Amino acid sequence: MKFEILTLFPEMIMDSLRTSILGRAMEKGIISAKAVNIRDYADNKHHSVDDYTYGGGAGMLMQAQPVYDCIHAVLTEDAEKIEEETEKSVRDILKERKQTRVIYVTPQGRVFDQAMAEEFSKAEELIFLCGHYEGIDERVLEETVTDYVSIGDYVLTGGELPALVMIDAISRLIPGVLGSEESAPGDSFQNGLLEYPQYSRPAVWHGKEVPKILLSGDHAKVDAWRLEQSIERTRERRPDLFAAWEAAEQERIEREKAEKLRLKEERRRLRELNDDRSQGTV
């Protein structure tokens, strides 16, 4: 997986990505990440990328051309046929590269969740566009952005922190990034529920004991206990998630019932057909 983050503050991005699990994944070559400074594509000596907004209003707006040139450069830097590629527009290049997505980090986008993280983890290249000030000129967004994504209904000073949040969530779904391949499937939201409580040594701490079921060695009972805890925790802490899970679970049960009835009816018809054949009526 290749991440490219277009930003006015590349150090902020790379200092974060080089640490902990993501840093190790980068060292192993499982993922790659590069922060690109949009100011490098400004066409003035002061490397200014913002200006006043038409129509008035408070704050400055990031201009279209530096952003467009930055995205275009990122898309064409590894092209085998540089001259041919650089003549194409960003829109044309993205049409050809189905596995490349340009994500604009904005509170106006779809709210990021685990399902979206899984969707993005299947791409080959993700380009994150981080805005600042009052945002970015709408015209360049129309020409370049494939996905508008938010991490919540609040406003931050820039897109760097949301981009880092998404990169972290996406990366841990890529095989080899986590130390254990069993870690991600057990996380909260993977099955529509919050994760169950977990415990480590010592078995007794501040007078509180680890639930005895976890010490039993009976994996089936442990799994059942964990599911029960996940359901109860979701019911208490996230009733919205619980309602969605409960509806999906009911739908699953109804599907299973319908399938059992279908199979039962099919077996009945086969028995009748066999009886007819044995009696010579068919």
255 annotated active-site: no
Q: Distance between CA 27 and CA 175 in Å, rounded?
A: 15
Helices 160-171 and 114-121 pack at an angle, to 10 degrees, of 70
Task: Say which of 119, 125, 172, 233 is annotated catalytic.
Answer: 172
134 annotated active-site: yes
Residue by residue, DSSP assigns 107-157 as EEEEEP-HHHHHHHHT-SEEEEEE-BTT-B-HHHHHHH-SEEEESSSS--S
Of 196, 198, 227, 228, the closest CA to residue 210 belongs to: 198
Task: Say which of 125, 134, 143, 246 is annotated catalytic.
Answer: 134
* Cβ(61)–Cβ(31) below 8 Å: no
Q: Distance between CA 197 and CA 220 in Å, rounded?
A: 17
97 in the Ramachandran plot: left (φ > 0), alpha (ψ -120 to 50) or beta?
Answer: beta
Parallel/antiparallel/unpaired status of strands 204-205 and 50-52? unpaired
DSSP class of residue 78? T
Residue 193 tokens, joined:
């529920």
Task: Say which of 39, 69, 85, 107 is annotated catalytic.
Answer: 107
Residues 6+ apart with CB under 8 A from 97: 75, 125
Please state the separation of Cα 157 from the chain's center in Å: 22
Question: In the chain, what is the greatest distance between 2 CA atoms, to the nearest angstrom?
Answer: 97
Q: Distance between CA 251 and CA 211 in Å, rounded?
A: 32
185 annotated active-site: no
Task: Say which of 118, 187, 195, 246 is annotated catalytic.
Answer: 187
Calculated CA dihedral for residues 174, 176, 179, 184, nearest 10 degrees: 30
235 annotated active-site: no
User: Active-site residues: which are they?
Assistant: 107, 134, 172, 187
